[in-house]
Amino acid sequence: MKLTGYEDLRVQKTINSIYDAFETLILANDYEKITVTALAKLAQINKKTFYRYYPTMDDLLSEMQSRYSQGYLQITAHFQYPRDIAKSVRSFFEYSAVQGPAYDRITISGAYSGIRQQMVDQVMSKTWGASPEFQKLADWQKQMLLSFVQDTGLRVYHQWIDNNRSAPLEDVITLATALMQGGVEKLLSAFDQ
């Protein structure tokens, strides 16, 4: 349930409790193992209360994905692709770095790959998909370019998290930008030939 800020304080607290419990369960379990019963117990609500706001667990997950995606899309809405790839890389890492452990688990865990891919697809279609230069490419070229961009960005972020964020974020952004910008430019020039 998207909060507008005009809900009763009890509703806001209930939704926040559901979210907090869901994030805690994401950190402890694969998504398929998270149950409404466990979530309700952790959120200190009954199952009927959960179902009042979310018909299914997938609806809660979808709302969480939308929050993550929309937050990033607000930052990148004015970017031009591929010209602004460096800005995009910086925005992805700076945005991701402050989202918290549940976001990190969804972003890097193999158990959440299908869920992560839904978020990535939503972001890619609204960023790269809106690029006139990108639209000039053949479908197979688009797929290769998007695969390169998302795999490189996610892999570098994953490695940074696995290394307990020991490298300074600015250094990671510099490395990821060099990899992605250089790769995208080479890929696009190869497609032009």
Q: Do residues 36 and 73 both lie within one domain?
A: no
Could you tell me the pLDDT band of residue 6, with boundaries at 50, 70 and 90? low
Position 171 in a domain = yes
Q: Do residues 158 and 186 both lie within one domain?
A: yes
Nearby residues of 89 by Cβ (< 8 Å), 6 or more positions away: 153, 173, 176, 177, 180, 181
Q: Does pTM surpass 0.95? A: no
Can you tell me the distance from the alpha carbon of 77 to that of 59, in angstroms, rounded to the nearest whole number? 25
User: What are 81-112's pLDDT values in tens digits?
Assistant: 888 999 999 999 999 999 999 999 988 888 78
Q: Do residues 32 and 120 both lie within one domain?
A: no
**What's the mean pLDDT in 39-51?**
96
User: What are 50-74's pLDDT values in tens digits?
Assistant: 999 999 999 998 888 888 888 888 9
Host domain of residue 115: 64-192
Q: Write down the pLDDT at residue 120.
A: 84
Q: Do residues 79 and 45 both lie within one domain?
A: no
Q: Write down the pLDDT at residue 132.
A: 87
Helices (H), the chain: 9-28, 36-43, 47-53, 57-76, 85-97, 101-108, 113-126, 132-135, 139-162, 169-192
Q: Do residues 86 and 47 both lie within one domain?
A: no
Could you tell me the pLDDT band of residue 7, with boundaries at 50, 70 and 90? low
Q: Do residues 13 and 90 both lie within one domain?
A: no
Can you tell me the distance from the alpha carbon of 97 to that of 156, in angstroms, rounded to the nearest whole number? 12
Q: Write down the pLDDT at residue 177.
A: 96
Q: Write down the pLDDT at residue 126.
A: 84
Position 117 in a domain = yes
Report the number of distinct structural domains present in the chain.
2
Query: Which CATH number is 31's domain given?
Result: 1.10.10
Nearby residues of 176 by Cβ (< 8 Å), 6 or more positions away: 89, 93, 152, 153, 156, 157
Could you tell me the pLDDT band of residue 178, with boundaries at 50, 70 and 90? very high
**pLDDT surpasses 90 at 125:** no
**What's the mean pLDDT in 110-135?**
84
